[in-house]
Amino acid sequence: MDSMTFVLFGATGDLAKRKIFPALYNLFLDGNMPTSFSVIGLGRREMSHDEFQARVEDSLVTFSRRQTDDQSKMEGFLKAFRYNALDVNNPDDYKKLLQTIQQREEELTIPENRMFYLSVAPEFFDKIAYQIKESGIATTKGWKRLIIEKPFGHDLKSAQQLNRNLSVAFEENEIYRIDHYLGKPMVQNLEALEFANPVLQALWNNQYIANVQITASETVGVEERAGYYDQSGAIRDMFQNHMLQMLMMTAMHLPKKISPDDIRKQKKMVMESLRPLQKQEVAKDIVRAQYDQGEVSGEAVVGYQEEPGVKAGSMNDTFIAARLWIDNDFWNGVPFYIRTGKRMTEKSTRIVIEFKNPIKDLYSSNNDETAPNLLMIEINPNAGVTLQLNSRNLLNNGKLEPINVDFSASQDDMPEAYELLIMDAISGDATFFAHWDEVEMAWKLVQPILEAFEGNIVPLHRYPSGSMGPEASDQLLKENGFNWW
Ligand code: NAD
């Protein structure tokens, strides 16, 4: 792994404290950081290096997955950290930043490899990219990379504009767009499940699969994020990015080899084959809904309209269900169902593959029935894989009953998404990051949905908090003879 400088914009923010410092520290403790590295934190207010290091230490003690009694390890880590005050709009601050970067590169005799992590509001992304270029920070004899996290735009047009602005300073292969769902161990494992198991690989097509269901349900409501969420909704917050990324990972087909480029190519082919939605027809395949008051985990909660910060009469979607079709030889005729929402019954992200059941009637003369085989991939909060099969229960008159073959991954030492993703970015492996082509195609799919919502030609259903969404979401599957698992 190359020695490098990690430049963190937004180093005094919440994400840095809760996720980024702990991720770097865990990589360090696991021996997954370069032997020599420098971290330069940037924030709006003034602070000494010592003060900054103390803040970082504080965050590690509070939030790090791994802890150590060996104080020298902690000290060894913290001594890599420096702090500069920087206002994103002030060119002089970038000049000072360049000096700090160069000074540290000299002190540590490390090459000019520079990683820029923008943990700041997205409206700053293009300003920062522009200043990085203008100040000369981007002119390096080593590599340079940019890490950003969604939202990548608010719609197709703004996403394209943002991408043009970023490309002033960074090439596409230098931009690492985090979709933290792609950092979840079970999502990273999808590729192996599909391709490293000939038994599943052989079945991974429309000849054997009846439908695919991808669910990400949350129990929380909008919390303190109404300002953002009321403008975004489940469609932008979850569907355009995380849900479509999981769909790509599930539907992609065996690449020639397992390399970032080949996997990206396969994911892109999925997006290219996704049947576009026509604005006037969106309501046929997309259900939007908003939560009402209800009860979640035994607690009474208010409806979305009563949440602080939500504007009166808001038509925002807190739930989306979708039926999508992939028009290629592998998936013709297999519906992909997606649903995601807030204030639902349980917190769970999972993918269920329902296999066809051609022998359904074979046992009916014995008054027996077979359930469909299901492959259930639990992503969050538990990680595991379950295969549902039919088996005779000799304790119940030999009747056929579904049994589960279960694997549950131990959560204890599981690295966090940010650890895996930051490690990949430092190593230059872009497999689990969102490529611009994917982001743009996802916006193209979503754009007519946004317009149909804005034009109010899609009904806004309601669902009680604590449920799995509105009746209309069940109906979407019933139309094809299925139900949500
Ligand atoms: P925050 O408000 O806690 O921190 C913002 C950071 O930006 C601070 O370090 C602040 O000093 C800096 N900043 C603000 N204005 C600045 C300016 N003019 N010049 C220079 N620096 C400036 O926000 P956060 O929760 O850390 O989130 C940062 C970004 O990451 C946000 O865009 C958020 O949407 C995104 N994000 C956050 C989380 C999370 O869990 N907190 C998760 C995913 C994505």
For ligand 1, whether the C-beta of 34 sits within 6 Å is no
For ligand 1, whether the C-beta of 121 sits within 6 Å is yes
Give the model's pLDDT for residue 470. Answer: 98
449 CA distance to ligand 1 centroid (A)? 29
> Was 187 annotated as part of a binding site?
no
178 CA distance to ligand 1 centroid (A)? 15
Express each pLDDT in 121-160 by its tens digit: 999 999 999 999 999 999 999 999 999 999 999 999 999 9
19 CA distance to ligand 1 centroid (A)? 12
Q: Which of 15-19, 118-122, 173-177, 397-401 has the lowest mean pLDDT?
A: 397-401
> Was 289 annotated as part of a binding site?
no
> Domain segments of the chain: what residues?
4-149, 182-427+434-479
CATH architecture of 4-149: 3-Layer(aba) Sandwich (3.40)
Instruction: Lay out the sheet containing 144-149: strands in order across.
Output: 81-85, 37-43, 4-9, 114-118, 144-149, 175-178
User: What angle, 0 to 180 degrees and rounded to 10, lies between the N-to-C axes of helices 49-63 and 71-78?
Assistant: 130
For ligand 1, whether the C-beta of 232 sits within 6 Å is no
Q: Are strands 319-325 and 335-341 parallel, antiparallel or unpaired?
A: antiparallel
pTM: 0.95
CATH architecture of 182-427+434-479: 2-Layer Sandwich (3.30)
List Cβ<8 Å contacts ≥24 apart for 13-21. 13/43, 13/119, 13/120, 15/119, 16/41, 16/59, 16/119, 17/55, 17/59, 17/63, 18/59, 18/63, 19/63, 19/416, 19/418, 20/117, 20/119, 20/418, 20/422, 21/56, 21/59, 21/60, 21/63, 21/64
**Does 411 score more than 80 pLDDT?**
no
Q: What's the longest Cα–Cα distance across the chain?
A: 82
Express each pLDDT in 432-480 by its tens digit: 999 999 999 999 999 999 999 999 999 999 999 999 999 999 999 999 9
Distance separating alpha carbons of residues 285 and 277, to the nearest angstrom: 8
435 in catalytic set: no
